[in-house]
Each structure stands twice: as structure tokens, then as C-alpha cells.
Chains A and B, each alone.
Chain A
């Protein structure tokens, strides 16, 4: 005997999947726009001469799993994308960045990131209705947090100098590049589930 609520449950799941798919398409479209704008804004920020900053370079040990997104599943991809953008947002929100760059540029950058974070959170809320969170996602998020902790520590040790921010800007460019790849991976998975 079929549970009388079976069809209602199926309908809700189907509706959620459809809404999730539509929302994902919109979020991916926005993400591509945010990716482009972030890179443009980040590279508008004035930097010290590269020559004088070369001695300040540091290897922040970007987690290898980020570099190879095909190693993990779609639900992890969203979580990691959100964590990276959140960490970049936190990094540039510190008051110590404003001394080096024009306030309006930083604010525009933060606004773009904040808007995208909100879209991603809605999507992750929808995804949570389909599946519960996993330990794997949390481990990957933790690796991202530790990576950004290294960046924060570096800035503090370098007393938030102009060269330190130049080095960090270069590193965030790398990070945004992997955000492009994560976005591309989500797009492909959406087209070929």
C-alpha cells in the first residue's frame, strides 16, 4: 500500500529539484559576472612596484584539492565556492586594507562578493533540503579556512605593508582563478548531470 503522503513527498522533491536547478543556473550566471568583476576590480587596486616586493613573496600552500575540482562532488563544490568567497570577503573587509587602496574600489569589490554570497546561501539552503551535509564538505571547508589563516597571519607579520598587500593580491588572483574552475565545473554538471 502506497503511503498516502508518498505523492506529496515526491512532488515536493521534484519541485525542490526544479527550483534548485533554476536557481543554480541563475547563480552560475551571476557567479561568472562576479568572477569577471572581481578580477577587474582587484587589478585596479594600485600596487607597489613588483621589483621591491619580490623579497616578500610567500608560498601560502593553496590546498591541492582546490586545484583539482574533479576530485569532489557537486554538493562539495558549492560549499567550497561559498567558503572561498566568504574568506575573501572577510580578508578585504579588514580596516587595514583601506589604508592601501581607495575605499570606493574596495567597497565595490565587497558589494559584489556579498551579493554572490547571498545567492549561494539560498542555493545551499535548497540543496540541504535534498541531502544532508557531509563530513567531506566540512574537511574541505576547513582546508580553505586554514589557507586563509596563513594569509591573515602573513599580513599581520608584515604589518599590513603595501608590499604584503601586493603579494596577497597576487594570491587572491590565483584563488579567483580556481573559483572560475569551480564555477565551470558546476556549469558542466548542470548541463550533463
Chain B
């Protein structure tokens, strides 16, 4: 919407026979406003042309689903292994990621919530990423959830919580 350019055909969304098409990698710029249009043809005849009433503004409309993660409990610390997908959407590559989003690892124990915000960049967000929550109280139950937090606006989608009881005698070879 910021420039009076012609509408562009999405290459992977032509001659669609299903009920949807994924436009994730069409959005390129966070502050841009996009207007999708669906056109249906029969032969050379245009049957339907629908422009979305609501525009897409990734800066506020975008919310990332949380990554998968595993936790391993030791005597006084928990290793959190965050599993990012192998490919991230185009719009998040480069500075988009650490400027607009931060990863939050939330740890809850005894009703007290602690938030950890490890620094992420384009390299850490593909593949596995390990974070250690240390100085925890042994013999207590700790629960962890992981999610992306948008810098200012946008909804947070929290992950399911995973819990572990820290037992004595569980030592990590990494610490």
C-alpha cells in the first residue's frame, strides 16, 4: 500500500485447487501494509474477484507460534533445548528478527515466574538452541514455557508448559 504499484501474482498460488494458499514468504517488510486479492477464472473468463476487506500489516498482525522445546532437569539447573524450524520466514531474516521479536523462556516455581530473554539472531534461530536456567532450588518442581514476544504490539502465543522435578544426584556434564 505504500507505493502505487501494480498487484503482483503470487507464483506458488496460481491455479490453486485447494481452499487456501500459504502467503508467509510473500510478506517482505514489517512496516508495509499488504492487500490480498483472490481471482477465480473459468477459461479466460473472470468469475470472481475479491479484495480483502482487512489489510495485512505484519508489524502488528504477525504473531509467531512458539518453537518446540525439551527440558532436561538436573540437581539445581534445567537445560532447555529449543528446536527452531530449519527455515524461517523471509520477513524475519536479517535485522527483523532481533529488532522486532525476542525469545522468552519462562520458568515457574512456587508461584514465582521468572523470564529469561536469551539473545537470538538469524544464526541461532535455525536448528537447535540450548539455554541453561541455573541456580534453581533442588527438590522442587519447575515448569518451563517458551514463546516469542513482539517488541511492542502483537499477540503472544504461549507454548504448552513442561515441568520437571529437580532430584539430587542428577549432574550435568556441561557445568
Contact = CB atoms under 8 A, between A and B. Distances in A.
Interface of A: 32, 35-36, 39-40, 43, 49-51, 54-55, 57-60, 62, 167, 170-171, 173-174, 177-178, 180-181, 183-184
Given A50-B35, A177-B59, A184-B99, A57 B1 contact: yes
Interface of B: 1-4, 30-33, 35, 51-53, 55, 57, 59-60, 99-100, 151-153
Interface of A is mostly: helix
Contact of A184 (B2, B30, B31, B151): B151
B31 A59 contact: no
A85 to B, nearest CB: 15
Given A57-B3, A59-B2, A173 B151 contact: no
Contacts of B32: 174
Given A50-B51, A180-B152, A39 B60 contact: yes
Nearest to B59: A177
A133 to B, nearest CB: 28
Given A43-B57, A50-B51, 18 more contacts: A32-B152, A35-B152, A39-B153, A43-B60, A50-B35, A50-B55, A55-B4, A59-B2, A62-B2, A170-B33, A173-B31, A173-B33, A173-B57, A174-B31, A177-B59, A178-B31, A180-B100, A180-B152
A28 B174 CA distance: 39
B25 to A, nearest CB: 20
